[in-house]
Amino acid sequence: MKVYQTSEIRNIALIGGSRSGKTTMAEAMLFHGGIINRKGSVDEKNSASDYRDIELERQGSVYATVLNSQFDGCKINIIDCPGVDDFVGEVITALRIADTALININAVNGIEVGSEIGWRWALKMEKPVAFIINQMDHEKANFEESVNEIQRIAGANATVIQYPVEEGKFDAVIDLMKMKMLKFPVDGGKPEELDIPADQMAKAEELQSILIENAAGNDESLMETYFENGTLTEEEISRGLKLGIVSRGIFPIILASAKTDQGVNRALEFIKNNFPAPNEVAPALTKEGKELSCDSADAPIAYVFKTTVEPHLGEMLMFKVYGGEITEGLDMVNPNTGTRERISQLLTIAGKNRDKIEKLVAGDIGATIKLKNTHTLNTLNTAKNQKDIVAPTQYPDPKFRTAIRAKNSSDDEKLGAILNEIKKQDMTILVEYSKELKQIILSGQGEQHINIVKWYVEKQNKIEIELFPPKIPYRETITKPAESMYRHRKQSGGAGQFGEVHMLIEPWFEGMPNQSKYPIRGTDEYPLDWGGKLVINNCIVGGAIDARFIPAILKGIMERMEEGPLTGSYARDIVVNIFDGKMHPVDSNEMAFKIAGRSAFRDAFKNAGPKILEPIYDVEVVVPADRMGDCMTDLQGRRAIVMGMDSEGEYQVIKARVPLAEMNKYSTTLSSITSGRGQYSLKFYEYQQVPTDIQSALLKAYEAEEEDED
């Protein structure tokens, strides 16, 4: 493929609803650009974009697929994104490296869930946006309603560029930039430019006036020209339009039918003429806030935004060049890992098709293979700029947690390796072994997201697994002081074991006064890895316990803190006053005092008003206004405390605090209540005491579990 310069490159993220025809649109764009010589389709399972086994089985996109097309000396990199919220990480990945978001709208269904999700993330990431109303050939296509829905979410700056001559029949459009009627051939392709029919002129002039005003509003000189001449030329409209797209002052609306190839050629022309080049948008930043100018004269620097594992190739790393030129054989540095890497192969990507290329310049997107220690979110640069690290993409926290295990324990090690490979390809998947819960916790964006992981493990790697609700990381603490003593004595011939420990335990809180019953000779504080604190006060007088045994007592206490007496959960926020004990001149040793300390602590704990604490999360739920009541009812059934409400356009925002124990499969429930339009995020807030009835149930469940193990 030809090497394109920065000004000749356009990078677009193709986003929208799952049935808006994005993949078909991408396929048509590749066909028109001569990248493929025959259009594939989702139904026939031969598209360039949806080529992975899971996508062929589902007949829908799961991953963002990098593609490219060409038009009139311009390279158009296209990232085709899935349209389901569970795969929102792929949308974020695409928006991160794209310069413009092109939102696909279904002409029959209008704004769908995926379109709204894409729009909201484009807003959040401050990306230029354009809309393309697809499937205009459908007999139930409704242009006017589609425009109304676009303007409902995007406002009056959503500006019509084309409209159909006849609603319900897509063989011609009025193009307001050209002020021509574009007549489409029956088999698609390049349209014929004709004069606007007399009966369409008034409507065309009215809509063009709106377009010109919106375009001129982005540049003072254009506004002056407009006031002087009463109109703008196509070139002047294009200049104002590009400025408006970059500044997010205009969201143009164009039309197409990807399936029949009508309007696609003009869409590519529109992208080439009006979408910004990579050096015409807000620059990317390094972690230190330095701007990357996207200039081919700069030192080479690239950002790895995605990793895939490809048959016969292995790991393929996709990257965007943010400065300089990348060539085969170039030695680069990975400042994230300190690794030196050589670019042995350089590829351009069109889905399942890859072609070698000699060079990629600033702003372009490509791939390489066989790097030693470079991964997604890493930077590649050279000795000249080796300290520069591109600021990594920020992904949302997981919303769905599940425990996972292999049905056959002999597959445990293999399962761990597979999950780590999956995580390399999907940055919104988290895998961790919880020492506390003694479970592998798999987290993602929703139940459907997790089911994709299950599919890969079981179908591609032939390991049967089980998914089940994860345990909740409870905490245990006390509410009042309590004393105890424990004597450990063991005699089995020869030297025995003897240790006796007396202690007073109290609940710890910030600023608490010291107890006065026993004089404190020394204090040690231990911040706990799982939160809270343990304070040990040495109140021993008269050498009742030798100082060399105090660490063993502490070790015994810590063992019990790590496996609390009530439910085996971590204990926290406790003061232990060791005030007396006994030793034996022969039989006392560290083991005896560790056991005595652990047992004394257990007995005191159970008499100190023990309480179980549960994790509480701040939850923010964004729901359509007409589903507000149902969502509130559901949250109240989850023991939520509503902290406030706000509005966000046509959506309501509910802010609440909810116990983690009540959030199992909430993403699935919210999707059901809101038909997929609701979204939520959660963030840990604090630990609070569980209600008495729930504590009783937890104690009984733990006792039953202990009996089963015995």
Fold of 6-192+248-280: Rossmann fold (3.40.50)
Query: What ranges do the domains of the chain cover?
Result: 6-192+248-280, 289-385, 403-470, 476-609, 613-693
Give whole-number Cα distances, 666 to 209, 314, 344, 400, 669, in Å. Answer: 48, 36, 46, 8, 5
125-147 pLDDT, tens digit each: 999 999 999 999 999 999 999 99
Among 518, 526, 529, 531, smallest CA distance to 481 is for 518
565-601 pLDDT, tens digit each: 999 999 999 999 999 999 998 889 999 999 999 999 9
Among 465, 455, 443, smallest CA distance to 665 is for 443
Q: For 636, list phi and psi in degrees, rounded to 5.
A: -65, -35
Side chain identity at 570, as an amino acid letter?
Answer: Y
CATH number at 289-385: 2.40.30.10
Give whole-number Cα distances, 167 to 83, 108, 383, 516, 573, in Å. Answer: 27, 12, 59, 87, 70
Same fold, 289-385 and 403-470: no
- CA 534 – CA 657 distance, rounded (Å): 27
User: Among 3.30.230.10, 3.30.70.890, 3.30.530.20, 1.10.10.10, what is the CATH number of 476-609?
Assistant: 3.30.230.10
Fold of 613-693: Alpha-Beta Plaits (3.30.70)
pLDDT class of 494 with cuts at 50, 70, 90: low
Q: Strand pairing partners for 355?
A: 348
101: CB partners within 8 A, 6+ apart: 12, 13, 15, 95, 118, 122, 127, 128, 129, 130
Q: What is the pLDDT of residue 309?
A: 87
- CA 702 – CA 589 distance, rounded (Å): 33
- CA 550 – CA 118 distance, rounded (Å): 60
Give the β-pairing of 251-255 and 158-160. Answer: parallel
608-666 pLDDT, tens digit each: 999 999 999 999 999 999 999 999 999 999 999 999 999 887 889 999 999 999 999 89
pLDDT class of 385 with cuts at 50, 70, 90: confident
pLDDT class of 273 with cuts at 50, 70, 90: very high
The 3 state secondary structure assigned to 553-620 is: HHHHHHHHHHCCCCCCCEECCEEEEEEEEECCCCCCCHHHHHHHHHHHHHHHHHCCCCEEEEEEEEEE
Q: What is the pLDDT of residue 676?
A: 86
Q: Please state, rounded to an integer, the average pLDDT across all residues of the chain.
A: 93
Residue 44, judged by CB atoms within 10 A of its CB (0-12, 13-18, 19+), counts as exposed
Give whole-number Cα distances, 482 to 394, 516, 539, 593, 599, in Å. Answer: 48, 14, 15, 20, 14
**CATH 1.10.10.10 corresponds to the domain 403-470:** no
Is residue 709 scored above 70 in pLDDT?
Answer: no
Side chain identity at 309, as an amino acid letter?
Answer: V
Q: What is the pLDDT of residue 708?
A: 63
